[in-house]
Homo-oligomer: A and B are copies of this chain.
Amino acid sequence: MRVLIKNVFVEGKRRDILIEENRIKEIGEVRREEDMEVIDGSNKIAIPGLINSHTHIPMTLFRGVADDLPLMEWLNNYIWPMEAKLNEKIVYCGTLLGCVEMIKTGTTTFNDMYFFLEGIAKAVDESGVRGVLAYGMIDLFDEDRREKELEKAEYYINYIKDLNNSRILPALGPHAPYTCSKELLKKAKDLAIKYNVPIHIHMNETLDEIKMVKEKTGMEPFLYLNSFNFFDNIKVIAAHCVHLTDEEIKIIKDKNINVSHNPISNLKLASGIAPIPKLLKENVNITLGTDGCGSNNNLNLFEEIKVSAILHKGYNLDPTLIKAEEAFKFATINGAKALGIDAGEIKEGKLADIVLINKNNPTLRPIENIRSHLVYSFNGFVDDVIIDGKIVMRDREIITLDEQKVYEMAEKAYDKLRE
């Protein structure tokens, strides 16, 4: 079955988009044929599906369980006790809930780090979204734990490869320099090269963790990792990067490290405000992440786009910083580049990850300057979602999942966590 989107607005022009298999075959004027499923786009705007470059999807179940607390109280009293009760089934339910939210808010790809990846992969498979999944390794400098974590990580890479689903890709997730030993980081790098997968890691999120790394190693985190050539010959997505020295920025630039900017989580957890304008000056590839729902508390990437576009203006007292077009790229083409996915723009030959937005929305009116509206005004709830050439949501109804059933399953899973 081919899919034809008729008369849709793409970059301000009315076009037809023909999808064949999982790719965009043609953009222009396309004649309807019998084997085509046709979507009337005449009242809609087409954009590339958004790409969330840092999240922990199963934590969608943790939405609102604890807010407005110091980090250690939040972790010790709420997040870690709940995480101790997780299992594959609960993680599956949490991921389904996250997928519903991502689909409804136009995110077609997410880059995840978590545990119980069988549960995550199952939900991703069923929901139709695209996921890059890393098992989060933490050894806390303990040798036994390290070997077990590396084994698990390698197991999951093979597990995901064996699924043979082009929408589900493996990655390696050494958690962070303050929770992983140098040996773990080195071996993770070896695995990344062996399997040709990206590394997804938390870097420089808080001043406290940077202090810990400096006390242990005498170096700032990026300098420390660079001291054993961690960043060479691999693709790295570094989440957060809130506090950076100029020397660290130079490493990020020189080693082509992709930055996942998570402004909302960084504000809510009081981690700080990342120096994105400085990174942009060095042409660093900036992408956007929501982080998990424990610290955001949603997966609506449109909020991240808006906050990234306004925050740095206000913080630096310069209204010309991070223009609408740039912020939109953070969440689309830049994310695709970072993850090595051939999507992020609506172009012939690209993967067919397309989102349609209804123009009957006051936040999009007057109906001019659509790019600006999508960045600064739109609320994020979209009409239709196509991922990998398949229609996943049509006229706000999710086709791949039973939304009501997902809510029920998620509530039950949540009750188990709170028992």
Contacts and interface: CB of A to CB of B under 8 A. Distances in A.
**Could you say which of A63, A306, A323 has the most chain B C-beta atoms within 10 Å of its C-beta?**
A63
Contact of A271 (B314, B372, B414): B314
A380 B379 contact: yes
Interface stretch (A25-33, A96-104, A278-286): A96-104
A66 to B, nearest CB: 9
Contacts of A375: 67
Contact of A360 (B267, B322, B368, B403): B403
Interface string A223-240: 000000000000000000
Contacts of A1: none
A336 to B, nearest CB: 24
Contact of A270 (B65, B105, B318, B404): B318
B97 A319 contact: no
Given A297-B377, A377-B64, A407-B365, A71 B268 contact: no
A77 interface: no
B376 A67 contact: yes
Given A297-B376, A369-B64, A373-B64, A101 B270 contact: no
Contact of A70 (B320, B381, B404): B320
Given A365-B407, A379-B380, A411-B367, A313 B64 contact: no
A68 interface: yes
Contact of A298 (B267, B368, B377): B377
A273 interface: yes
Contacts of A377: 63-64, 293, 296-298
A84 interface: no
**Could you say which of A303, A309, A311 has the most chain B C-beta atoms within 10 Å of its C-beta?**
A311
A55 interface: no
A76 interface: no
Given A314-B267, A314-B270, A315-B273, A379 B300 contact: yes
A411 B323 CA distance: 25
A407 B322 CA distance: 30
Interface in A335-372: 360, 362-363, 365-370, 372
Nearest to A323: B68
Contacts of A368: 64-65, 414
Nearest to A274: B314
B319 A71 contact: yes
**Could you say which of A298, A365, A373, A407 has the most chain B C-beta atoms within 10 Å of its C-beta?**
A365
A324 interface: yes
A259 interface: no
Contacts of A298: 363, 376-377, 379
A269 interface: yes
Contacts of A410: 365-366
A314 B205 CA distance: 12
Given A64-B368, A268-B310, A313-B268, A319 B411 contact: no
A164 interface: no
A366 B101 contact: no
17 contacts: A61-B366, A63-B363, A63-B377, A64-B373, A68-B320, A70-B319, A74-B319, A97-B365, A268-B310, A268-B313, A269-B319, A270-B319, A297-B377, A300-B379, A303-B303, A379-B379, A381-B381
Interface of A: 60-61, 63-65, 67-71, 74, 97, 100-101, 104-105, 207, 264, 266-273, 293, 296-298, 300, 303, 306-307, 309-311, 313-324, 360, 362-363, 365-370, 372-373, 375-377, 379-381, 403-404, 407, 410-411, 414
